[in-house]
């Protein structure tokens, strides 16, 4: 084992000896009965954001999709490769989840990158293209907080980007139909890394509110 990954080897050993044994029956049941997750969680690939940890979920609870910026590309019915779209379709049409969570977070590198002049090269071509999914949020952030300090503008843009991703989810035919039927519900969250708090988007009042009262 590479010494650089030694801590992961030790962590896996501890998992096998303690956590796996504690949940052995649950894992066996998940194999026998298959997965039936409660929600699709679309989050950022940022290493500081751990969906299972911040939600207290157990194996089998969340079907998780992670990408740069927790973006959702609009529905595009061509035959290209669409990793996030494929996972969304699988969760909605095969697993039939009842809830979809789009979770942004503070100090998001993707959102910060929207406000930087990054030149496209053969080494970052896919990243630059992917960041285009945050352009609408960037425009609103610049308009609403152009006279504020940068951190305030970034925190706002992180949140407004979540709202745009929820809109993009509604371009998927199955999601739009199920939302209208009331069989699937969309949720926008923003996780604050510094204090561990999560705010949710209240679409009736068009504002983010604390998920819990603690």
Does 192 reside within a domain? Answer: yes
pTM above 0.75, yes or no: yes
Query: pLDDT tens digits for the chain (214 residues)?
Result: 567 899 999 999 999 999 999 999 999 999 999 999 999 999 999 999 999 999 999 999 999 999 999 999 999 998 788 999 999 999 999 999 999 999 999 999 999 999 999 999 999 999 999 999 999 999 999 999 888 899 999 999 999 999 999 999 999 999 999 999 999 999 999 999 999 999 999 999 999 999 987 5
Domain count across the chain: 1
Does 99 reside within a domain? Answer: yes
Residue whose pair of structure tokens reads 């949020």 in the numeric block: 137
Containing structural domain, residue 29:
24-210
Does 12 reside within a domain? Answer: no
Looking up residue 123, the CATH number of its domain turns out to be 3.40.1050.10
Residue whose pair of structure tokens reads 């940890």 in the numeric block: 53
Does 59 reside within a domain? Answer: yes
The first and second tokens of residue 140, run together, are 């609103």
Does 164 reside within a domain? Answer: yes
The first and second tokens of residue 14, run together, are 């501890």
Judging by DSSP bridges, how do beta strands 185-191 and 198-202 pair with one another? antiparallel
Does 3 reside within a domain? Answer: no
Does 8 reside within a domain? Answer: no
Does 158 reside within a domain? Answer: yes
């Amino acid at each position: 084992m590479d010494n650089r990954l030694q801590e992961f080897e030790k962590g896996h050993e501890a998992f096998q000896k303690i956590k796996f044994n504690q949940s052995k029956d649950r894992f066996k049941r998940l194999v026998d009965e298959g997965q039936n997750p409660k929600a699709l969680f679309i989050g950022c690939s940022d290493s500081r954001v751990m969906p299972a940890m911040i939600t207290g979920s157990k194996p089998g609870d969340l079907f998780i999709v992670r990408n740069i910026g927790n973006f959702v590309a609009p529905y595009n019915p061509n035959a290209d490769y669409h990793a996030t779209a494929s996972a969304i379709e699988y969760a909605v049409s095969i697993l039939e989840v009842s809830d979809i969570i789009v979770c942004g977070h503070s100090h998001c590198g993707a959102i910060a990158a929207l406000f930087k002049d990054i030149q496209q090269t053969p080494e970052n071509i896919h990243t630059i293209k992917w960041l285009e999914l945050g352009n609408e949020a960037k425009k609103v952030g610049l308009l609403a907080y152009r006279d504020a300090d940068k951190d305030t503008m970034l925190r706002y843009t992180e949140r407004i980007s979540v709202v745009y991703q929820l809109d993009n989810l509604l371009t998927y035919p199955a999601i739009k139909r199920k939302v209208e039927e009331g069989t699937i519900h969309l949720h926008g969250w923003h996780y604050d890394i510094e204090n561990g708090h999560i705010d949710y988007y209240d679409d009736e009042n068009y504002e983010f509110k604390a998920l819990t009262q603690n």
